[in-house]
Amino acid sequence: MATGVKIATIGGGSSYTPELMEGFIKRYAELPIREIWLVDIEAGKEKLEIVGAMAQRMWDASPYDVKVYMALDREEALKDADFVTTQFRVGLLEARIKDERIPAYYGMLGQETNGAGGMFKAFRTVPIILEIVEDMKRLCPDAWLINFANPSGMVTEAVVRYGKWDKVIGLCNVPVMATMVEPEMLGKSADELIYKFAGLNHFHWHKVADDHGKDITMEIVEKMYAGETGLPKNIHDIPFPRRLLEQMQMIPCGYHRYYYMEEEMLEHALEEYQTIGTRAQQVKKTEAELFELYKDPNLDHKPEQLGQHGGAYYSDAACESIASIYANKDTQLVVSTKNNGAVPDLPADCVVEVSAYIGGQGARNVAFGELPTAERGWLQVMKAMELLTIEAAVTGDYDTALQAFTINPMVRSGKTAQRMMDELFIAHKAHLPNFKTTIDRLEKEGIEVQDEVARELDLVNV
Amino acid sequence: MATGVKIATIGGGSSYTPELMEGFIKRYAELPIREIWLVDIEAGKEKLEIVGAMAQRMWDASPYDVKVYMALDREEALKDADFVTTQFRVGLLEARIKDERIPAYYGMLGQETNGAGGMFKAFRTVPIILEIVEDMKRLCPDAWLINFANPSGMVTEAVVRYGKWDKVIGLCNVPVMATMVEPEMLGKSADELIYKFAGLNHFHWHKVADDHGKDITMEIVEKMYAGETGLPKNIHDIPFPRRLLEQMQMIPCGYHRYYYMEEEMLEHALEEYQTIGTRAQQVKKTEAELFELYKDPNLDHKPEQLGQHGGAYYSDAACESIASIYANKDTQLVVSTKNNGAVPDLPADCVVEVSAYIGGQGARNVAFGELPTAERGWLQVMKAMELLTIEAAVTGDYDTALQAFTINPMVRSGKTAQRMMDELFIAHKAHLPNFKTTIDRLEKEGIEVQDEVARELDLVNV
Amino acid sequence: MATGVKIATIGGGSSYTPELMEGFIKRYAELPIREIWLVDIEAGKEKLEIVGAMAQRMWDASPYDVKVYMALDREEALKDADFVTTQFRVGLLEARIKDERIPAYYGMLGQETNGAGGMFKAFRTVPIILEIVEDMKRLCPDAWLINFANPSGMVTEAVVRYGKWDKVIGLCNVPVMATMVEPEMLGKSADELIYKFAGLNHFHWHKVADDHGKDITMEIVEKMYAGETGLPKNIHDIPFPRRLLEQMQMIPCGYHRYYYMEEEMLEHALEEYQTIGTRAQQVKKTEAELFELYKDPNLDHKPEQLGQHGGAYYSDAACESIASIYANKDTQLVVSTKNNGAVPDLPADCVVEVSAYIGGQGARNVAFGELPTAERGWLQVMKAMELLTIEAAVTGDYDTALQAFTINPMVRSGKTAQRMMDELFIAHKAHLPNFKTTIDRLEKEGIEVQDEVARELDLVNV
Amino acid sequence: MATGVKIATIGGGSSYTPELMEGFIKRYAELPIREIWLVDIEAGKEKLEIVGAMAQRMWDASPYDVKVYMALDREEALKDADFVTTQFRVGLLEARIKDERIPAYYGMLGQETNGAGGMFKAFRTVPIILEIVEDMKRLCPDAWLINFANPSGMVTEAVVRYGKWDKVIGLCNVPVMATMVEPEMLGKSADELIYKFAGLNHFHWHKVADDHGKDITMEIVEKMYAGETGLPKNIHDIPFPRRLLEQMQMIPCGYHRYYYMEEEMLEHALEEYQTIGTRAQQVKKTEAELFELYKDPNLDHKPEQLGQHGGAYYSDAACESIASIYANKDTQLVVSTKNNGAVPDLPADCVVEVSAYIGGQGARNVAFGELPTAERGWLQVMKAMELLTIEAAVTGDYDTALQAFTINPMVRSGKTAQRMMDELFIAHKAHLPNFKTTIDRLEKEGIEVQDEVARELDLVNV
């Protein structure tokens, strides 16, 4: 066996790849990488080449001898890989633009992770991740899958439940940012605080104690109302109703704004929709700028602008997970992983997002104990929504998709919601082969995308 | 001990009382009543007297010698009662008008059972039912409590959980009507069908089989789309998305429209709000007409018009429950009762609404088995909403109330919802002593009811 | 389709068949039988012919025109059957003699239902019942399976879990006898009492109330200590420690003696072993006498002696179940059936024995609610034992069998238990094809049955 | 506030105290102790003085200035303590001798932790620990309770459930020894292995992986059959049936011998009973020798002989727990702690023994996931036995005690077991004030201890 670690990164042409490289370079001492394979699809070839060259420059500027390969053929990249990271976006940012604009056209929230948009993202992503898992079973059966393709929790659940693959860790930058910003607020270092997270991806709560075990969650809440919040850039930053946090004695995650303050988040989303464009449209601009930077043959380190991006620190969490598994480091992270009882209000065999120690066997989840009534209820309906969404993605069943939309608290049920869903099916036709029958029917019924921007993208059908 | 059964009816001045009398008269052979005590509050005295006289006339016209007493003093009525029925409305229909109009003013659903309105109905009703239970412990410790005060499920849960009183059955006319209308649709009699209901009050599903055990749920669904629905009059009658029912293979209850078709139900409610007035305003008119009829000293039987009322058949279910307990008849009914495992997706000690055989020990629930993913998720969040609402009603904690509103799928969370909630607190001030601190604070903050109709009622504060 | 009901009885040569006929004759008005097929194996042909002739004589003496067929070919009998009853004994009474004597040789309890003997009975019976279920899927897919082959609970669990066949009801005469004898003790009729049973086959408890709902369990306990007990004849009749019953406030079933008074039951079993022979040996004698009676061409009704038999009333319960399903009668019975939450301390998808209403859809279980600590713990370990036993029966895995023996509270773990188990494998070789590898190994290791009576039977290996 | 940590040790006169001192001395850098209070009762005064002087000599021989106080008054010792350790034995070794000999007289296992003896140990210990907790609430409400008084799991459960005190960690040396010996077997260091334990105190299983995450449990099993086992000295060392371990793919704890090989363990216990005396009698000798050593005014370090003792490493685990909490070290240990879902087969609010990371908030349990069928069943019945035992200890209810005995798999139910239980009540009269009514009754009935050795001890009634 060759010495050194082989990494395969699916969706390697992503603008986040330089952050990933930086994370690996920083950890080389404990994670001696031999080669990195950046995989992308034909449509992403140009970006892949830009970012691949940039990645190689970063390694060349480091003291380490690591080779970066670019591949359009997934199989070659997966062969004997030790770790596979997934950060691909089926349909690219264009798909996300549709996910956001089509609901907004109807005055509804698209929300690209747990909302209508996120559900379609799951419909597109789940079948691909399951193909990757099948490839891994053949080509690198001992490898770990480190997923940060969104919706990260649902994708991880699909890997475990339908892929029957347990060596997977799902990541998210939301808890990473909380555990970075909160200690700062208190003038402390991260290891002086004790964290306990529980819930689902983009739907979790956490508690914090100091190193003497004293609960200081409400001290942090105090600071949050005084100023800085530590939100990723893609969440509109408005304060939670303070009384709710006092009732909970926990800190909800940033995405919880869509549930605790649906009205305000919708208002904001519609305002952007009507003016500067939805979040995806903004991100697209940032991304284009990043790729311009990456083209510079002198640039050999991660540019500062990347840190402003919504997905910042995802890659760092990925690198840390990989290093922790490889070196059995027992680092604490918050990950999507098989529950095993850590959140006793959900079945032991489903995927949750919790505090865990990451080592040679993957995640060792910290048992959180039962949640209070309100959080328990919401968690249970959200997990049901996730399970139905994944089931629909796998079976291509329209009615199951409709049920998932109906119970999602972020979707107001009724004829408009169904119309919006139908248009999303049409818009994403190219990436939803499992739903072919449904889409054929909808086309026959004459369903057409109403939002012009989305419709034009639809013509390209990226 | 005196022979014959003593019934005490709290809220005896209700327009439904004649239906109750008719039910008792019909069942006299198996339920030999000695006396009936109709109890009401001072403010309801006039109605009580009209309806009490009418009730006595009904008995006098029957072959049975039963005395109807009218009482403003609850204690006298409860003393040694065998059965206590509760059908009171704290704040009368005026309170319901507020429950509906204040949300509607803000473009939201009030929905007087599970929506914002229903939650405030629970805030008003739970403390009173708990007082009644305490009285029963002293005055008639062997009696059964048959509740049809709404929100019937939450009230029953409060009786069991906080009142620690297990001899209670909660009733609803929704399943009664389903089991009356559906056999008709098929040209069958009720005992040729096998029913299985599970869920919560106004939030349950059912399955139907023929007497050979063959599932015929979808045959009934077929008929429903062809015409008649069997809805109580207070639910706006529009068809469910058929695909959802096909996915479920179960029949949701009429109130599920508020969840499966929130948009349409809201549209309808707002239209009524802006035109003929909300449902409560309409009911008020019907009720006034009924009382005019009741005044007729020649009227000695239930007038037909009562059967058109939204709450029709409630009383019949109550009479049947009482007769079944008294005569250990083992009649099948759908009731709110301690779960005991019948709905395994909810804790064994909470209250659910399920098919049960009613006999000398009360309800023997039919174990339904696990529900499918979507129904399970929704049921769990709804039960959490119920538990929080009841907890808030008991503790008077504003923040708990806010959580209950926030997780209720029928309330769009955010600043408007909170404003609406605050106005409801102000509007119901006279009936929410547990929330005194909150209401004082809100008044100090200058919160005022914006809907004019509700505000004027508020001045009276019935 | 032919009119009238077709019944197929597997194990039709049983001495209990006349009781079954009597039950059907009694219920002909509601269960119009056309033909009855008694099926048995070649080795049971003689008995089948005796009992078959007797059965036909019984019908001929009745006012009804019913034809009794005898068949060695199961397929013909199952073809288009409406109800299949199973009362077969793999290996006949000889096998039970081994089940009892081999443990007794080592000073241990064989106990033919839940003990070491019962586990081997399950090993022999489960594969056959699963074959029957497969036949039913082909030949009579709408039929109901009414099982009273022992161990009845485990056999029913196997049908549901491995056979994936839900139209099954498992029966036992123990609760039948309780609900017959207890009302008598109190001078009441059965329908004046309200029963609630929960647990597993031969491992359940019950509570009793009068028709006013008053719990009178302890009144019955009082009577039990004063005299009559209502035990089936095959359970040695010694009183439970009274304090235990007072702690429980429930009545354990007769077989619970093996758990609550293991010592006394073992003493009794060993005494019989050393003197008059084990229970099976006694039963064999009774059975031979019965068959002598049946040969009498003038006997055309169930002889009284059959009522003294340990399994009396099994058949009556079977007839009542069939009639209740057929006529959708909603009769109350205690049956083995899929839990569905009725016993919330066990998984919703396993088989339990509970009070149920039997109708066109089979059993509608009465939700019992959570059991007290002691009963819950025992129930959970017993269900684990059952599941392991069934798993071993299906897979033929020796180690799983060993685990099942180890956790069974009726088996003292250790080398002697394992030796006893090994001898049982040898003794039942002819009926354990799934365990061929194991038995070959044990034979190679020279394991031989030590008990002489059992060894001689072994030579025949019925 | 004074600087430095105050430790209070209840049962300070124990022969294990020098090990505790050694543990503290070794960890002084991270756990700067100011003073240690050794508390004991009047009857233990002599031992306390010997061991207290020895403890002070140990500190004096160290570089650290720590004062050891001896106290018969618990309150003074608890006042402002930072950590309270409990290692007391109610009734001293004499009580354990009775726990072992009285069952042995009747041919039964006493087993001083989970068997009949352990249950009586719980009856004696639980009321005292609850008194200590009440004292702590007054005198040192911020302190942590580190319990290693046996039965450690039940005592910890009592603290959480009845004492309502969550700042507690229960310890046991069994997992400590496993995690010491097993790496040695493989020629590895402890941090090269990944451990996962789950179950109850003296009733748990574990799995082991190497630092690449590969499961190597069966490699260790292999080594165990080849030789060394790592058992504490108080468990008779005979190999488990290998097939069982292969079926489990887990390693049971040493005490599991009493369940998997009850016969062999009983044989061994009875042999010792009839020859060299029970384990407690042997321990008593060892202990006397230790105290002789401790008297030597020149001895200022832990003598080697102490390491041979059955309870070795308990104290080390205690010191490590305390240091980990104090310095928020996140050390991995196996502890008794509130479940919180880590063992999803048991309620989230009961105490389990699991792998955990110990830090400023106490134990962060590693979620183990569901156990296989056999282990699940046994665990559930054992937890029921524990809960009943604790309940009986608190309420003094004889019938509850009888139920606990009846369901304990290590007790053969029946008249002899009850007789044995009755004698144990008589024998421990002085330490069972909660059971006064029961003991008075038994004395009136003339119950007398039959084992002579126990009876003579009884006269003293230590």
Q: Residue D424 is part of which domain span?
A: 396-460
Identify all chain D residues contacting A325, using CB atoms and an 8 Å cutoff: 213
- Chain C interface includes D260 (CB < 8 A): yes
Chains that touch A (3 or more CB pairs under 8 A): B, D
Contact (CB<8Å) D381/C383: no
**Which residue positions in chain A have pLDDT lower than 70?**
1-2, 228-234, 310-311, 458-462
Identify all chain C residues contacting B355, using CB atoms and an 8 Å cutoff: 364
Band of residue C1 on the pLDDT scale cut at 50, 70, 90: very low
pLDDT digits 0-9 by tens, C36-54: 999 999 989 999 999 999 9
Contact (CB<8Å) B244/A378: no
pLDDT digits 0-9 by tens, C252-305: 999 999 999 999 999 999 999 999 888 888 888 888 999 999 999 999 998 888
**Residue among B332, B360, B367 minimizing CB distance to C342:** B367
Contact (CB<8Å) B263/A414: yes
Share of chain B above pLDDT 90, in %: 84
Going by their DSSP bridges, the two strands A67-71 and A83-86 should be labelled as unpaired
Total number of residues shown for chain B = 462
- Chain C interface includes B196 (CB < 8 A): yes
pLDDT digits 0-9 by tens, B309-330: 766 788 889 999 999 999 999 9
pLDDT digits 0-9 by tens, C321-372: 999 999 999 999 999 999 999 999 999 999 999 999 999 999 999 999 999 9
pLDDT for C234 equals: 63
- Chain C interface includes D307 (CB < 8 A): no
Interface C–D counts its CB contacts (< 8 A) at: 128
pLDDT for C187 equals: 93
Share of chain C above pLDDT 90, in %: 85
pLDDT for C120 equals: 98
Does residue B255 carry a catalytic annotation? Answer: yes
In a domain, B430, yes or no: yes
3-state secondary structure of C322: helix
Contact (CB<8Å) C362/B211: no
pLDDT digits 0-9 by tens, B391-412: 999 999 999 999 999 999 999 9
CA angle A241, A245, A248 (to 5 degrees): 140
**Residue among A374, A387, A412 minimizing CB distance to B373:** A387
pLDDT digits 0-9 by tens, C177-216: 899 999 999 999 989 999 999 999 999 999 999 999 999 9
Tokens representing D286 are 């060892």
Q: How far apart are alpha carbons A316 and A23 in whole angstroms?
A: 5
ipTM summary value: 0.95
In a domain, A452, yes or no: yes
* Distance in Å, alpha carbon of C380 to nearest chain D alpha carbon: 5
Identify all chain B residues contacting A406, using CB atoms and an 8 Å cutoff: 244, 259-260, 374
In a domain, D409, yes or no: yes
pLDDT for D49 equals: 97
Would you say the C-alpha torsion B16, B22, B27, B29 has a positive or negative sign?
Answer: positive
User: For residue B462, is pLDDT > 70?
Assistant: no
pLDDT digits 0-9 by tens, B341-388: 999 999 999 999 999 999 999 999 999 999 999 999 999 999 999 999
Find out whether C461 is annotated in a ligand binding site: no
pLDDT for D4 equals: 94
In a domain, D417, yes or no: yes
Strand stretches in A87-239, DSSP E: 144-147, 168-170, 193-200, 203-210
What letter does residue D151 receive in the DSSP assignment? S
For each successive 10 residues of chain D (462 residues), what is the average pLDDT?
Answer: 86 94 96 97 94 97 97 96 96 93 95 94 98 98 96 98 98 91 92 96 97 95 78 73 94 95 95 91 89 94 80 84 96 97 98 98 98 97 98 98 96 95 97 98 97 82 46
Identify all chain C residues contacting D412, using CB atoms and an 8 Å cutoff: 262-263, 412
User: For residue C233, is pLDDT > 90?
Assistant: no
Q: How far apart are alpha carbons B363 and B167 in whole angstroms?
A: 9
Q: How far apart are alpha carbons D277 and D453 in whole angstroms?
A: 10
Q: Mean pLDDT, to the nearest integer, of B124-138?
A: 98
In a domain, A414, yes or no: yes
Contact (CB<8Å) A360/D325: no
Contact (CB<8Å) B374/A246: no
- Chain A interface includes B276 (CB < 8 A): no
Identify all chain B residues contacting C357, using CB atoms and an 8 Å cutoff: 357, 366
Question: Is D192 in contact with D213 (CB distance < 8 Å)?
Answer: no
Q: Which of C108, C376, C378, C400 best probes binding to D when mutated, by most D CB atoms within 10 angstroms? A: C378
Searching chain D, which residue's CA lies closest to the CA of residue C397? D247
In a domain, D428, yes or no: yes
Selection from A5, A78, A74, A11 nearest residue A314 by Cα: A11
Q: Mean pLDDT, to the nearest integer, of B189-212?
A: 96
**Residue among D192, D360, D366 minimizing CB distance to A364:** D366
C109 burial type by CB count under 10 A (0-12 exposed, 13-18 middle, 19+ buried): buried
- Chain D interface includes A211 (CB < 8 A): yes
Q: How far, CA to CA in Å, does B127 sit from each of B92, B134, B391, B437, D298? A: 16, 11, 11, 16, 74
* DSSP labels, D258-322: HHHSHHHHHHHHHHHHHTT--HHHHHHHHHHHHHHHHT-TT--S--GGGGGSTTTTHHHHHHHHH
Chains C and A touch (3+ CB pairs under 8 A): no
- Chain B interface includes C69 (CB < 8 A): no
Q: Is the peptide bond before C433 cis (omega within 30 degrees of 0)?
A: no
Tokens representing B6 are 């003593």
pLDDT for B319 equals: 95
In a domain, D412, yes or no: yes
Please list the active-site residues of C. Answer: 255
In a domain, D50, yes or no: no
Contact (CB<8Å) A377/B380: yes
| Average pLDDT score, chain C | 93
- Chain B interface includes C343 (CB < 8 A): yes
Alpha helices, DSSP H, located in D27-148: 45-60, 74-78, 92-105, 116-139
Q: How far apart are alpha carbons D166 and D145 in whole angstroms?
A: 9
- Chain B interface includes C202 (CB < 8 A): no
Contact (CB<8Å) B359/C325: no
pLDDT for A462 equals: 46
Identify all chain C residues contacting D442, using CB atoms and an 8 Å cutoff: none
- All residues at 6 or more sequence positions from A240 whose CB lies less than 8 Å from its CB, including other chains: A252, A256, A257, A260, A261
Q: Is the peptide bond before D151 cis (omega within 30 degrees of 0)?
A: yes
Domain count of chain D?
1
pLDDT for D224 equals: 87
Q: Mean pLDDT, to the nearest integer, of C23-30?
A: 96
